[in-house]
Amino acid sequence: MSTRPDDAPPADVRGRLGWWFWGIVAAAAVPRLLTAGRYVTTDEFVWMNRTVRFSDALLDLDLSNASASVGEPATMPGSSTMWLGTVGRVLWKVASLIGLVDSNEFFGRDGLAVAQSTVAVATALLVGMLFLVVARWAGTVPAFVAAVVVATEPWIVAHGAVLHTDELTALFGTIGLVALAHAFGIPDPARRSLQPEWMAAFAGLMLMASALTKVIGVAYWTGAGVLAVWAFVRHRRSAEPTDSPIRPSLVAAGAGLLLVPLAWPALIVDPFFQFERLTAAAGLGSEDPVRPAGLAARQFFRGEPVDDPGWAYYAVALPLRMTPWFLLAALVGIPLAFWRTTTRWFAVALLPSVLVLAVLVSTTPKKFDRYGLVVLVPLAVLAGLGIATLVRQLRVEHRTIAGVASGALLLASAVFVAPYGLAYFNPALGGSDTGADTLLVGWGEGAELAAEQIEAIEDGDCAGVTVRGLDLQWVFGWRCAQPPPEGTTPDYVVLYVNRTQRSTDPRAEVEDRELVGTVEIRGIRYAEIWR
């Protein structure tokens, strides 16, 4: 039986995909740009430092320093993040020259906002690319469902507007995997790309970009290897003449290898040291937990501080971070995708990577909910495949109306939650109360609101005012966040949510102080201000 979906775009319709592409990109960009520039997450201090070193090394042709690590522990390779940060730095410089920004240092609020906006635009474009490759591979309906979900999920939106690695890794890997399946004509040779070598080259670039962003992106190569074996076995067993998969395989591998020296220059001039740093980065997730100073544990899960939340962590964390409609689409759509004959083998094509990624993130001691993005994005494609089998029961014009209406509603929801999608928890599973009782909350968002409250308390006069607990806000230029000199007592202490969650006695350091303000985001107490 043919696996060709009945909504496959014919030649006269494929040109219209461009219009849908830009619509998806716009829908993804709006909430991401509304999020960018509003706060600084804990890790962005590090990525701004790495971006400055990387871009300076490129400018000075000191390529051995064009790396995320020159000896210190680091997420490796980090190339995509640093390149986007470098683009942001160039844009910031242009903006400063024409007077759009006042600061003369990239390492500040304006520079961070431009870097975050650059990432926001890049991830929005990648969501559009996800739509295009899934549409050509499996049909427009599953492509639309998957892309709209990734474009508008509040928690995914939030990660698409920070200078970091996780969403980039997930988008690059999923796009590359789907593009390679399309180049091979898997599962349906009738749907093979009309230009398989070009599609294979694109797949190779995307798959390598995923691995060059974060080492776990290599796990997508497992699925790529399965697809290649599938294509070779089918070619050998076919009774009819079929195109050999050898050429697309070589083109994909070649394109990926060509990207390496461009994206990671330090590897070319100092390969042994960079591989040593890469090996060290690969072991960061499996090493003994490093507890932050003064805290009981590195993580928080199910009401108590823990070092390793256990293998079931993501099975709890990811549903809590999904919207009710994404969770429902996954629970209904993924089983349907494997059950229906028209989509079963499309789903099987993605399954190896999903399983490998799920095992990898679940079995290492170091766990954060954002690490699950590498699983969540391909799950959106699987859900789209299954939901498409239901939507195809509608007439074409009704599908369009339903798609546009649902997309508009989901976009409105994403805009409503922005910029604090990092604080989003599934209301169908208990919302903020359950989320704050179950998972570690806070990656830095909301701390800027504490600084603004202190400024209001001080009537805008921050001279001489010192605060403990807002170090990054001071570094990036928020007023009234100046840390106290060593050995002195600060005027204010801010207790941030993820610190109180992981502490055995969260308010011990403020016993002799007065609570003068709190920061509430989506019903969660993010910060307490003690004077």
pLDDT of 455 over the 90 cut: yes
Give per-residue burial for 267-276: e unless 16+ CB within 10 Å, then b. Answer: bebbeebbee
CA distance 411 to 160: 15
Q: What is the pLDDT of residue 322?
A: 97
Query: Which has more pLDDT, 241 or 139?
Result: 139
Query: Which has more pLDDT, 65 or 399?
Result: 65
Query: Residue 269 — pLDDT band, cuts 50, 70, 90?
Result: very high
Strand 304-306 to 299-301 pairing: antiparallel
pLDDT of 394 over the 80 cut: no
Across the range 324-351, mean pLDDT stands at: 95
pLDDT of 6 over the 50 cut: no
If you compute the radius of gyration of the chain from its CA atoms, what whole number of angstroms results? Answer: 24
pLDDT of 377 over the 50 cut: yes
Query: Residue 506 — pLDDT band, cuts 50, 70, 90?
Result: confident
Across the range 355-375, mean pLDDT stands at: 94
CA-to-CA dists, residue 275 to 61, 164, 440, 485, angstroms = 20, 21, 32, 40
Mean of pLDDT over the chain: 91
CA distance 522 to 497: 13
Q: What is the pLDDT of residue 9?
A: 46
Q: What is the pLDDT of residue 181?
A: 96
Q: What is the pLDDT of residue 396?
A: 65
For the chain, what is the largest distance between any 2 Cα atoms, rounded to a whole number of angstroms? 83
Across the range 54-63, mean pLDDT stands at: 94
N-term to C-term CA, the chain: 72
Phi, psi of 4 (to 5 degrees): -70, 115
The top-scoring range by mean pLDDT among 2-11, 131-140, 392-401 is 131-140
pLDDT of 124 over the 90 cut: yes
Across the range 112-122, mean pLDDT stands at: 97
Q: What is the pLDDT of residue 286?
A: 55
Q: Which of 97-106, 116-125, 246-255 has the lowest mean pLDDT?
A: 97-106
Q: What is the pLDDT of residue 413?
A: 96
Here the tokens at position 243 are 């195109």
